[in-house]
Chains A and B, each alone.
Chain A
Amino acid sequence: MDFTTMDTATVTRSVTGSGERYLELFLREYTSVFKEKVNPSCPKCITEYLNRYKNHFKTMANTCNYRLHAKYENIPLEFGSPILVNNGNITDEYAQKLLAHNNGQRYFSQIPKTKASNNKHQKSNLKKQNANDISANETAE
């Protein structure tokens, strides 16, 4: 049974052919994945559990090498943007935009090494170039 394609109403109201409630099966599955207690009598919590469960599998399926810290999941892409970036929907393009935020690197628990080192190389090359420019100017003066 694939709960990632179901909405809350389906999970809470449906029953299998053998009479088992989807909700019971889902909560059993949820607790086996997240190892935490659940509150079956809280409708808002069920929605949260289902969203978390779906995001968990989206995150696992996402091949983007950038990863956000848990506390920055669902950060707005830009000021006022309706796009909330999390580890399920993050792409390289989104990551670049988040990195452009003030001190944006703090959002990430994982940044691909190649790009980071490329940036470092670019920065060090830029520094060298600046230094060369300055020395060239000094000699010219």
Chain B
Amino acid sequence: MSDLRDLYQDVILEHSKAPRNYRELVAANHKAEGYNPLCGDRFTVYLDMEGDSIRDISFQGSGCAISKASASMMTQIVKGKTKAEAEQLFDRFHKLVTGHAPANGEAELGKLAVFSGVSEFPVRVKCATLAWHTLHAALEGKQEAISTE
């Protein structure tokens, strides 16, 4: 069971049962949908961007405990961050769950370090990163919107 508890840490289970920022964001000026066709997980990430920073963020959708907890904790950590900061977190998070994190990498990720156990379950990496990929798409979408204005 030790391996399983590495993956299903209490914090993760708690977030999956009671996800934070789980709602449609009425004030959203950008959103993106993320879909994992392999397992049917589907999330929408809503962003309220003020200039380059994330004033508010929320998500909705369905997925496994890992993907839902990851989405929930992501919304908490990126709120108030700039686009560049959020992208940097995604990069670090991705390295963490794929087992490529630098020795001191977990400190920078704060609470997200609970996802380190995912690296022992390679087939679950996509679950953990689905919300982040969706956030990335939403952030990119904003850039495109700016470029057309």
Q: Is B truly associated with A? A: no
- Which residues of B pack against A, CB within 8 Å? none
- Which residues of A pack against B, CB within 8 Å? none
